[in-house]
């Protein structure tokens, strides 16, 4: 699913992506965050997400392909 995201949108990893990658029973399905930047890249549209609430250290803000996310 390719979605258009804007700065400030609330996102999570998509249910389809979680199933396809076997992440249904990890911390990943519980991550929620806000889009801080949208970047066009040779691989597609990247969304920079600032994740909430967990001590993720250097991973608190990550670039994720937009196809792997959905709004929440």
Which H, E and C letters describe 15-53, residue by residue? HHHHHHHCCCCCCHHHCCEEEEEEEEECCEEEEEEEECC
Q: Is 23 exposed, middle or buried (0-12, 13-18, 19+ CB in 10 A)?
A: middle
pLDDT tens digits, 7-42: 999 999 999 999 999 998 888 999 999 999 999 878
Average pLDDT over residues 44-59: 86
Closest CA to 30 of 1, 47, 52, 56: 52
Lookup: tokens for 36: 């801080």
């Amino acid at each position: 699913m390719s979605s258009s995201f804007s700065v400030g949108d609330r996102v999570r990893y998509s249910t389809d992506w979680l199933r396809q990658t076997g992440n249904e029973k990890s911390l990943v399905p519980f991550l929620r965050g806000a889009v801080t930047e949208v970047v066009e890249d040779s691989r597609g549209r990247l969304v920079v997400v600032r994740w909430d609430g967990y001590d993720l250290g250097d991973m608190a803000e990550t670039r994720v392909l937009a196809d792997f996310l959905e709004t929440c």
